[in-house]
Structure 1
Amino acid sequence: MKPEEVLAHFRETDALLEGHFLLSSGMHSDRYLQCAKVLMHPQRAAILCQALAKKVHDALGKGAVDLVVAPAMGGVVVGYEMARQLGVPGMFTERVEGQFTFRRGFEVPKGAKVIMSEDIVTTGKSSRECIEVIKEAGGEVVGATCLIDRSNGTADVGVPLFSLMQMNVKIYPADKLPPELQAIPAVKPGSRNLK
């Protein structure tokens, strides 16, 4: 799938937003990708994740993945669909008192080859946190996936990161906002509240 085809899914569902956004990492940006608006359409989710699963198969080989784990909340739908496309079980981590953990009886079989899957990667912070929990549970993380890599390939999640496309979306710390962002209030459209 070509990058313009991926972005078409976001544009057609009004999921590519422009303005001033406060990201869950604490950074600010002038563009935001609201994956939930794309993923609310099961056919679009299937098309996007099928293309992403093909990238994983091409890179790692068929049968190289035993399990998909996603960080809640943003990664749940992508993780489920990636597990379906790869033909393996899927589960998710949740934040409890600010830390990812497994709940709901989810357990990672010791030595399971795991793909960590989420919607968007910007700094890679949530991905790294989720990957650490998988490793602590006994899984071997063989790779990570996201629909769009907003870091344009610069985020290091500690394992190979497969995405449908990379974007060069500038992010800024609160004390280094450009004048055009300083002039408008920030909106927090994501799923995670900042403290």
Structure 2
Amino acid sequence: MMSKERAEQIFATTGALLEGHFLLSSGRHSNRYIQCASVLQYPCYTEELAEELASRFRNDNVEVVIGPAMGGIIVAYEVARKLGVKGMFCERENGEMKLRRGFTVVPGQRVLVVEDVITTGGSVREVIQVVREEGGAVIGVAALVDRSGGKVDFGVRTESVLVVDIETFEPDNCPLCKAGKIPLVKPGSRY
């Protein structure tokens, strides 16, 4: 199992840990942001992190790995490669998460849902719903980073390489907005 220190080293080395005033894809604000794209641009680190996630589900008979676009695409591909199974992604169409591009889930298929970063779990929940509507069996959720500190519950086994508890704020109660010193930045992919 990868140590927390090794995972933190990878994120620090790639410049993925940011400080500032951020608008998250959930709509909440935060003074810290984890930009997984900074890690995923390095195949050697992506492979190492994906191997860690794959190892945790290697004995669960995963048949398909699915992630949400954008953040989950590379992670889904690499975890699927490590498990020797098909990798797909869901994407938004008219604001709704869907399987497109000919991707399908066969009823009863054992699916692992993956994501780069979990904050509120909204995108993962949408992917889980799509999989279940297709008749698939979600056997787990895997993420590079769980920034909720393990508070998000998907009703299935959830594994993350790095679990951190980063404070977030509703926009109306954001101390950074009230202080007015640091401009709000939208680094996520949903906006």
Runs of 5+ in structure 2 lacking a partner? none
Q: Look up the SS of the partner of 2:33 in the other structure.
A: strand
Runs of 5+ in structure 1 lacking a partner? none
- 166, 169, 172: which one aligns with 2:166: 169
Check the 8 A contact 1:30/1:181 in 2, yes or no.
no
For this pair of structures, how many residues does the alignment match?
189
> In 1, distance between residues paired with 2:154 and 2:25?
16
Cα displacement (A) at 1:139: 0.6
Q: Look up the SS of the partner of 1:6 in the other structure.
A: helix
**TM-score, normalization by structure 1:** 0.93
Residues 3-35 of structure 1: CA distance to partner in whole angstroms, max 9, x if unpaired? 121111111111110000000000011111110
Check the 8 A contact 2:31/2:176 in 1, yes or no.
no
What residue number does 1:41 align with?
42
2:189 maps to 1:188: no
What residue number does 1:50 align with?
51
> In 1, distance between residues paired with 2:178 and 2:146?
22
- Identical-pair percentage: 48
Q: Which 4+ stretches in 1 moved above 3 angstroms?
A: 179-182
> In 1, distance between residues paired with 2:83 and 2:178?
41
Amino acid at match of 2:34: L
2:27 maps to 1:29: no
Cα displacement (A) at 1:160: 1.4
What residue number does 1:154 align with?
151
Cα displacement (A) at 1:182: 3.6
Cα 1:133–1:12 shift into 2, 3 Å: same
Amino acid at match of 1:186: L
Task: Say which is worse superposed, 74-83 or 157-166, in terms of deviation.
Answer: 157-166
Residues 47-79 of structure 1: CA distance to partner in whole angstroms, max 9, x if unpaired? 01101111223xxx25x2110011001100000
Cα displacement (A) at 1:174: 0.4
Residues 76-123 of structure 1: CA distance to partner in whole angstroms, max 9, x if unpaired? 000000101111101000100111001110111110000001101011
What residue number does 1:94 align with?
91
> In 1, distance between residues paired with 2:173 and 2:119?
18
Cα displacement (A) at 1:157: 2.0
**TM-score, normalization by structure 2:** 0.95
Q: Pairwise CA RMSD of aligned residues?
A: 1.2
